Structure 1
Amino acid sequence: MASKLIEPLSIGALTLRNRVIMSALTRSRSVPTNVPNGINLEYYTQRARGGAGLITTEGTLIVQQGSEWQNAPGIWSKEQIAAWKKITDSVHNEGGVIFNQLWHLGRVNHPDAPEQKASGQPVYAPSAIAARGGKFRFLPGQPGYVTPTAIDDPRIIIAQFRQAAINAKEAGFDGVELHGANGYLVHQFLDSTSNQRTDSYGGSIENRSRFGLEILKELVSIWGNKRVAVRLSPAGGYNDMGMPLQETIDTYQYFISKADELDLAYIALVRYMPAMDPTIDGKTRATQHDVLASYRPCVKNSALFLNGALTPDEASELVASKKIDAAIFGQLWIGHPDLAKRIEHGVPLDAKLDYTTFYGHGPQVSEEEQKKGYTDYPFAAHL
């Protein structure tokens, strides 16, 4: 049933061995600092060995930030570059392709987080508007979000993304994906509820799109065509996002059309998922609509990937009908390090996920404990 997923896909000079894409999955295992470590190496190597057509790394911080996701990896230092190089070399040795997802959290950082304190920087955002919801569970009292400092000159942050792209290239990645989803910084600029600037980066759809598009242009200037991607969640309300329906559609149709003109490797769209739709002030926050139907016509030059609780059979049908070029899977890759090979050979997807181990437990937990639910899910015996 899922045969279309195992067909190769050419993207520029890259050939993906199949269309079973591994989503960016925040796992918070880069302990004790933001430097990728040995169990991160094992985790990515396993999934390359398991046949992933493309691995997208977990969100990788472009500068030191006080993330709610304690122990997420970074790409701003030489030590981090060297650590990622071990991972990219290992993935390539297994025949895999790997993109680095570049991440800035904007207003959903916290000034009391150790990493934010160490950076000496405030929490930045397009406007001084706090997000609602969210808790920093590793901080005393589990505080929520704070009112951020409005970014004075967005070009400074754009330059940080450019440097991160240079660093990712040095680390041996095959390309980079800009994280423009889930209420993080690029998304904050796109959404009029979090962006109330009056300069050239706020107000109109064109202005709110400017920040993300200028980043993409910088990334393409480093990597060239078909090596840069962007991830977007137009229907998602996570981290207090969500505009009125028509404004949402108009904004994303414009942004996606302009991004597609840059001849990207792919545009990854996340469809509506209830789990990513918080209830705030008694109302769900997301803007529910058919993401694929709304934006598929905007993508003409880049590949289109879809994410969001897809089953392999559903994904194969979407590929067969040419509605998408590849499917992104998240939780299925957590429990099945050999997901692509299982799909190819019709082996059941039978992992019993332990949700308590999805995210790391901080640097105080031993390496053996960090491995639980991370690198200890088994491969199918006969593959």
Structure 2
Amino acid sequence: MAHLFTPTKLGAYTLSHRVVLAPMTRLRTIQPGDIPSPMMADFYGQRASAGGLEIVEGVSISVTARSYLGAASFYHDGQAAGWRAIADAVHAKGGRVFMQLIHGGRQSHVDMTGGVAPVAPSVVPFEGVALTKDGFVPVSPHRALGIDEIPGIVEEFRVAAQRALDAGFDGVELHGANGYLVDQFIQDGTNKRTDAYGGPIENRVRFLREVLEALISVWGADRVGVRISPSGEWGGISDSNPEATFSHVAKVLDAYRIAYLHVIEPRVKGDDTLHEGNAPVAAKYLREHFTGPIIAAGGFDGESAEAIVASGEADLVAFGRHFSSNPDLPYRLKHKLPLTPYVRAAFWGGDEKHYSDFPVHQSNSQAAMSL
């Protein structure tokens, strides 16, 4: 692990190692008013390490942006204390924490959006699900955003970014992946607009640029990251030429000199199966277009993470599944210790069981999770 455990610069910060906690939708925001629960502070605090980075799961920027019951959100002042507790828990271990901001777009249901139809760049029916009080149900029919409505959503992103800053976070990540609203604008399978936000890729990235500029206006470019998922299929997403589309996206983001580009590799399609025939996207074509730090995510173990960092194709690696059940994952990877198996049945919703009750390795008793 000679490369994975070396310091690196990430925007405004210097990290002591390159193992990142990936954003995971764990659906533990179970208190009234969508207030982050104390067990969420426990979860993130347990996984913090000195000089390490955590990215908090997709945080909806408004009621109408929500997709899943119990998912994180930050749209009113009453949620601030819960989020500050999470930031404080990470900082107590010497870690850094970014908040991932999201709008679900068409991946939603009227029970989650306050009774209004979900929105999207265009109306393109698909078979998706949202999580409501009745469980996972088919999404509600969506409608196309009017061009006059788009500035209001951009402003919701800006306000959420300000809330994250006020709550003590270290930065924000824009969720531009997995078929949610930003991704829906980028990819031509979901964006059929003929106005300034549709057609050629220069227009389809306009919404991404406007949201990114709103986040930068609050944080500065060196404390903002963006996550994308070239070749992703979740949410019925598609593009006629993903390599050209996301090469352009990478060039656009590079010009802003943001803190990092977070890339979901195409090897994982939403289950535990690795599709090894798909080479890591960062290695294929994004590295030549983005000169800043790249975080790779998707199906990595310790050896493959070390390999991609050693190759220079990525600078850091984000882990989700293995981090869910190994709060001291960096320590275990560095010392090549056995990993506790994750519990897939507890990924989405529940209580502390198989969430914040996983122990650290018996050889790692330091409260600050020494490496």
**Length-normalised TM-score, structure 2:** 0.91
Look up the SS of the partner of 2:174 in the other structure: strand
The alpha-carbon distance between structure 1 residues 92 and 136, as it changes in their structure 2 partners (threshold 3 A), is closer
Listed one character per residue, the Cα deviations across residues 186-206 of structure 1 (whole Å, up to 9, x for unaligned) are 000011111111110011111
The alpha-carbon distance between structure 1 residues 11 and 135, as it changes in their structure 2 partners (threshold 3 A), is closer
Query: What amino acid maps onto 1:116 in structure 2?
Result: T
Look up the SS of the partner of 1:163 in the other structure: helix
Contact 1:131 1:146 in 2 (8 A): no
Contact 1:201 1:209 in 2 (8 A): yes
Q: Which residue of 1 aligns with 2:346?
A: 357
Q: Which residue of 1 aligns with 2:12?
A: 13
Q: Which residue of 1 aligns with 2:200?
A: 204
Aligned-partner Cα distance in 2 for 1:55–1:65: 26
Look up the SS of the partner of 1:229 in the other structure: strand
Look up the SS of the partner of 2:47 in the other structure: helix
Contact 1:52 1:339 in 2 (8 A): no
Contact 1:130 1:145 in 2 (8 A): no
Aligned-partner Cα distance in 2 for 1:183–1:266: 20
Listed one character per residue, the Cα deviations across residues 105-141 of structure 1 (whole Å, up to 9, x for unaligned) are 0001101x2x422xx543111112233233546427x
Q: Which residue of 2 aligns with 1:343?
A: 333
Q: Which residue of 2 aligns with 1:85?
A: 84
Look up the SS of the partner of 2:94 in the other structure: coil
1:146 paired residue among 121, 140, 145: 140
| Alignment partner of 1:179 is 2:175 | yes
| Alignment partner of 1:125 is 2:136 | no
Aligned-partner Cα distance in 2 for 1:353–1:314: 19
Instruction: Give the 4+ runs in structure 1 shifted more than 3 A.
Output: 65-68, 135-138
Aligned-partner Cα distance in 2 for 1:352–1:222: 39
Contact 1:29 1:40 in 2 (8 A): yes
Listed one character per residue, the Cα deviations across residues 309-350 of structure 1 (whole Å, up to 9, x for unaligned) are 01111111221221111011110100100001112222222x
Q: Which residue of 1 aligns with 2:367?
A: none
Contact 2:322 2:342 in 1 (8 A): no
Aligned-partner Cα distance in 2 for 1:87–1:298: 34
Query: What amino acid maps onto 1:56 in structure 2?
Result: I
The alpha-carbon distance between structure 1 residues 67 and 131, as it changes in their structure 2 partners (threshold 3 A), is farther
Query: What amino acid maps onto 1:194 in structure 2?
Result: T
Look up the SS of the partner of 2:323 in the other structure: helix
| Alignment partner of 1:261 is 2:232 | no
| Alignment partner of 1:381 is 2:358 | no
| Alignment partner of 1:306 is 2:300 | no
Look up the SS of the partner of 2:222 in the other structure: coil
| Alignment partner of 1:116 is 2:113 | yes
Aligned-partner Cα distance in 1 for 2:270–2:338: 27
Aligned-partner Cα distance in 1 for 2:268–2:331: 29
2:307 paired residue among 308, 313, 317: 317
**Length-normalised TM-score, structure 1:** 0.88
Aligned-partner Cα distance in 2 for 1:333–1:65: 30
| Higher mean displacement: 131-140 or 327-336 | 131-140
Identity among equivalent pairs (%): 34
Contact 1:129 1:147 in 2 (8 A): no
Listed one character per residue, the Cα deviations across residues 286-324 of structure 1 (whole Å, up to 9, x for unaligned) are xx6751212111111x21110010111111122122111
Q: List alignment gaps of at least 5 residues for structure 2.
A: 272-277, 365-371
Look up the SS of the partner of 2:227 in the other structure: strand
Q: Tell me by how many angstroms 1:66 deviates.
A: 7.0
The alpha-carbon distance between structure 1 residues 87 and 143, as it changes in their structure 2 partners (threshold 3 A), is closer
Contact 2:31 2:37 in 1 (8 A): no
Q: List alignment gaps of at least 5 residues for structure 1.
A: 278-287, 362-369
Q: Tell me by how many angstroms 1:166 deviates.
A: 0.7
Contact 1:269 1:291 in 2 (8 A): yes
| Alignment partner of 1:239 is 2:238 | no
| Alignment partner of 1:189 is 2:185 | yes
Higher percent of residues as helix: 1
Listed one character per residue, the Cα deviations across residues 66-103 of structure 1 (whole Å, up to 9, x for unaligned) are 74421112111112122111111121111000000001
RMSD between superposed Cα atoms in Å: 1.9
Query: What amino acid maps onto 1:224 in structure 2?
Result: G
Aligned-partner Cα distance in 2 for 1:20–1:28: 23
Query: What amino acid maps onto 2:46 in structure 1?
Result: Q
Q: Tell me by how many angstroms 1:149 deviates.
A: 1.8
Query: What amino acid maps onto 2:47 in structure 1?
Result: R
Q: Tell me by how many angstroms 1:212 deviates.
A: 0.7
